[in-house]
Amino acid sequence: MRRLLPRNYLFTILGIAVGVAGLVALGAMAERITRFIDGGDRFVLGQISVAGEGMGMGTGFTAGGLLRASRIEEISRVPGVAAVQAQVMLPLNPTTSQFLTLTQELIMGVDPAAPVANRQYRELPVREGRFLRAGDRGVAVVGIDFAASRKLRTGGRLELGGRPFEVVGVLDKTLTAPDRFAIVPLDDARELWLRRDPLLVQVFAGGAGAMRRADLNTGAAVAWADGVDPDALARRIQAEVPGLNVTIPGELSRLLRQSTAFFSALLFGIGVLGLVIGGLSLSNTVTAAVFERIRDFGIKRALGATDLQLLREILAEALVVSVSGGLIGVGLALAVGALVDARVLREGQQLFLFSARLLGFALVFSVVLGGLAAAYATLRIARLSPAEAIRRGA
């Protein structure tokens, strides 16, 4: 290293490191948002979400009222439907806005005996423990951010809606909504719903409309048979089963994309900002470092160095400096990201996603830009006579 680099390159490397760290940190935030939106999009495209007519809980992926068991039966008879999975989705904290479906913590009740309806998530990846089994009661499988924010492990205890649950599994990172889910057996979720909603209890006590527990569903996920067009099937369900709110997967995806257009624009801006800040910092640092050595170039040319020899030397130095600065910058960004994420994880959030493609891009970016900046500066200096270069650098 000493042979490759003059001593005064330390601050150049640090300057590049700061630029690359900025680029990587901003890029990691953009990556995080992108993955989050893509994850949500994948989910809504993997199932037809159905709810009853009306406003209902407005929770989860489908806005709508109570979805009674009889309606679920009818849906399952529609040609092209492969499976229907009844669900109960409740906001963990009822006082929070229910419009933040993708960012709020949810209790999700599912029937483990029923086939999983989402084609994109046939089974949620379990990091430790196990997923729910048929006949389970009083147990929960929690998302990784949900677990981390409460320091939950398999075998730990958790209180949901005033009822104790044993954590039997923790999901792997999905970087989207399920990271903040507590998944419980469907009957447990129904009970939590009843506890939470006095009106429902009165309805049950009064025997209104011959309601049964099985009618307590906030919605259902519908799976389509192979070869069936999901959007066409969703329209067919809407036409054949009255009293439903049916979301068309393609339309919901478009709606989701529209509603997250702001975030898409934001992350595009973050990406551009990262490139500009990181790029300017890096190229400015390298160019300044080369110009600072203008006197040295004059001396070397006086000793017989050709433009090509100087360019080769500078590019080799720029390569070492850029790679070193890039690696330190990546390390710096990872350290800052880990510190910040450790702080926000307490609220069940993750701010940065340092993907391999981002880190690879940052390193290539720093090397290419460092090389270009060095070549530009060298060619500018090469125009000067050796005496002029020595004079300017004096």
Partner 1 sequence: MVVRAIGLSKTFRGPDGRPVPVLDGVDVEVKPGEFVAVAGPSGSGKSTLLNLLGLLEPVDAGEIWIGDVCVSRLSRRAQCPVRGRSIGYVFQSFLLIAGLTALENVLLAARYVGRSRREALPAARALMERLGVAHRSGHYPAQLSGGEQQRVAYCRAVLNAPPLVLADEPTGNLDDGHARVILAELRGLCRDRGASVILVTHRADAAALADRTLRLRGGRLESEGGDGTT
Q: Which residues bind partner 1 (CB under 8 A)?
A: 5-9, 295-296, 299-307, 309, 385-388, 390, 394
In the bound state with partner 1, the residue whose beta carbon lies nearer, of 142 and 390, is 390
Minimum CB separation of residue 10 from partner 1 in Å reads 11
Minimum CB separation of residue 375 from partner 1 in Å reads 18
In the bound state with partner 1, the residue whose beta carbon lies nearer, of 265 and 302, is 302
In the bound state with partner 1, the residue whose beta carbon lies nearer, of 150 and 300, is 300
Minimum CB separation of residue 4 from partner 1 in Å reads 11
Can you say whether the dihedral through the CA atoms of 20, 23, 26, 30 is positive or negative? negative
Minimum CB separation of residue 371 from partner 1 in Å reads 20
Residue the block writes with tokens 């060298």: 378
DSSP 295-358: HHHHHHHHTT--HHHHHHHHHHHHHHHHHHHHHHHHHHHHHHHHHHHHHHGGGT-------HHH
In the bound state with partner 1, the residue whose beta carbon lies nearer, of 4 and 276, is 4
| Exposed/middle/buried for residue 387 (C-beta within 10 Å: 0-12, 13-18, 19+) | exposed
SS3 assignment, position 216: coil
- Torsion angle in degrees (nearest 10) through CA of 34, 40, 42, 44: -150
In the bound state with partner 1, the residue whose beta carbon lies nearer, of 7 and 151, is 7
Minimum CB separation of residue 295 from partner 1 in Å reads 8
Q: Which residues pair with 141 in a beta bridge?
A: 169, 183
In the bound state with partner 1, the residue whose beta carbon lies nearer, of 9 and 224, is 9
In the bound state with partner 1, the residue whose beta carbon lies nearer, of 204 and 291, is 291
Minimum CB separation of residue 347 from partner 1 in Å reads 49
Can you say whether the dihedral through the CA atoms of 46, 63, 71, 177 is positive or negative? positive
Tokens at 64, concatenated: 């709508």
Name the strand (E) or helix (H) holding 142.
strand 139-142
DSSP state at residue 125: P
DSSP state at residue 55: -
In the bound state with partner 1, the residue whose beta carbon lies nearer, of 89 and 289, is 289
**Residue 5 CB: number of other CB atoms within 10 A?**
16
Q: What value, to the nearest 5°, has the Cα angle with vertex 246 and ends 245 and 250? A: 145
SS3 assignment, position 294: helix
In the bound state with partner 1, the residue whose beta carbon lies nearer, of 12 and 59, is 12
In the bound state with partner 1, the residue whose beta carbon lies nearer, of 107 and 390, is 390
Minimum CB separation of residue 313 from partner 1 in Å reads 9
| C-alpha span between 174 and 33 (Å, rounded) | 13
Minimum CB separation of residue 314 from partner 1 in Å reads 13
Q: What value, to the nearest 5°, has the Cα angle with vertex 301 and ends 299 and 304? A: 115
Tokens at 69, concatenated: 């068991």
Minimum CB separation of residue 391 from partner 1 in Å reads 10
The amino acid that residue 337 corresponds to is G
Minimum CB separation of residue 310 from partner 1 in Å reads 9
| Residue (of 3, 22, 14, 31) closest to 267 by Cα position | 31
